[in-house]
Structure 1
Amino acid sequence: MTLNVQFVTLWLMFVSGMGLGALYDAFRVVFVQLRLPRWTFPLADLAYWIIGIILVFGTLIRSNHGQVRLFVFIGLLLGLFVYLLALSRTVRKLIGVCIQAVKWLLRFCRRAMVLLLFKPAVGLYKLALLLLGVLAGAAMFLFRVVVQLGYPVWRLMLWLLRPLYAKLRVPARILGWISWMKQLFQKWFSKGKK
């Protein structure tokens, strides 16, 4: 292994150490901001270490074909130490701001959906119910007017056709139907007078 490869590996491990610190802070801020339950802590720890191992050993394999030497650990610890001293507070604040921005954006999207989709849909539904109620009321009113206007015509028709159906011997079923219609018209007409 050449000296150049060792310096590149040391630098990459330094950056990986900083990345591990940033990843740790990201997990910590997410847990505080989102108020995740305690039972998820072990899962987060497991995820942290899996991501950290993939990050460090992936970098190590690319830089020096996976050879583990003392300077690899020195680079990791030095990067983590520099990160904790210089960047940890800033990164935590930045991650907190990003989480707050995402929360605000989600609240905004939810409110926009309520205002643009749900409220108009509910309004249209209520308007349709109102229109159907008005149309049903108008239809009932028109039906009642037609029945009341048609009653004298019906009575006239019965009076005119009485000699005809008396001579023709209309079946009892039809006479029953006519009598039922007559009673129905009288009931409707009497309700209208009250």
Structure 2
Amino acid sequence: MTLHVQFVTMGMMVLGGLSLGGLYDLYRVLAGQLRAPRYAYYLLDVIFWLVGTLLVFKLLYESNLGEVRLFIFIGLLIGIVGYFLVFSRTVIRLILWMIRVVQTMVRIGKKIIELFIIMPTVWLYRATLIFLGFLAAIAIFLYRIMLQLFYPVWKLLLWLFKLLTRHMVVPAWLQKTGHKISAFIRRFF
């Protein structure tokens, strides 16, 4: 391995250490913000280490075809320590700010959906109910007026019908059928 390859590998490992530190802060902040069950954190730990390992080995393979030497671990350690000393607070603040931005966007999205979809639908539903109730009240009012207007006519027709049926002889079978029909109708009213 030439000196140039060793410097490139050392630089890549420092970069890998910085990336691992950033990935760890991202994982730590997100795990703190998520309200997940306890077993989910074990799964997140495994995912973190898989992603971190793949990242480091990808950088190692790209820089020196995967040869592992002592200075590789030193480079990773320098990168991680440097990250935590220099960048960690800033990255955590940035991640928390991004989480707040996303939460604000979700809250604004919910308000927009509520304002432009849910509330108009509720108002339309209520207006429809009020309109149908108004129509029902008008129909009941008109029905009662019609009943009062036709009551004298109904009485007159009933009186005429009784006069006509008084002098008519109705066969017994027709009377029996009429009584059955009237008994059937009285069950419902």
TM-score of the superposed pair, with normalisation by structure 2: 0.79
After superposition, give the CA deviation of every residue in 1:95-148 in whole Å (9 maximum; x if it has no partner): 111111111111112222222222222222222222222222221111111122
1:69 aligned residue: 69
CA distance in 2, matches of 1:165, 1:61: 112
Distance 2:49 2:121 in 1: 48
The corresponding residue for 2:170 is 169
What residue is the counterpart of 2:55 in the other structure? Answer: 55
Change (3 A) 1:162 1:100: same
**Tell me, what secondary structure is at the counterpart of 2:141?**
helix
Q: Which amino acid aligns with 1:126?
A: R
1:78 paired with 2:78, answer yes
Shift of 1:37: 5.8
1:160 is aligned to 160
1:28 — aligned with what? 28
Task: For residue 23 of structure 1, report the CA deviation from its aligned partner.
Answer: 0.9
Q: Does 1:139 align with 2:165?
A: no
For normalisation by structure 1, the TM-score amounts to 0.78
Equivalent position of 1:6 in the other structure: 6
Give me the identity figure in percent: 44
Which stretch of structure 1 is more off in the superposition, 53-62 or 13-22? Answer: 53-62
CA distance in structure 2 between the partners assigned to 1:37 and 1:160 by the alignment = 85
2-side partners of 1:93 and 1:38: how far apart? 25
1:101 is matched with 101
Indicate the SS of the match to 2:68: coil
Give unpaired runs (5+ residues) of structure 2.
none
Matched to 2:32, the amino acid is V
How do 1:85-124 residues align onto structure 2 when only pairs under 5 Å count?
85-124=85-124
Q: Give me the CA root mean square deviation.
A: 2.7
Give the unaligned 5+ runs of structure 1: 185-194
Distance 1:37 1:159, change over 3 A: closer
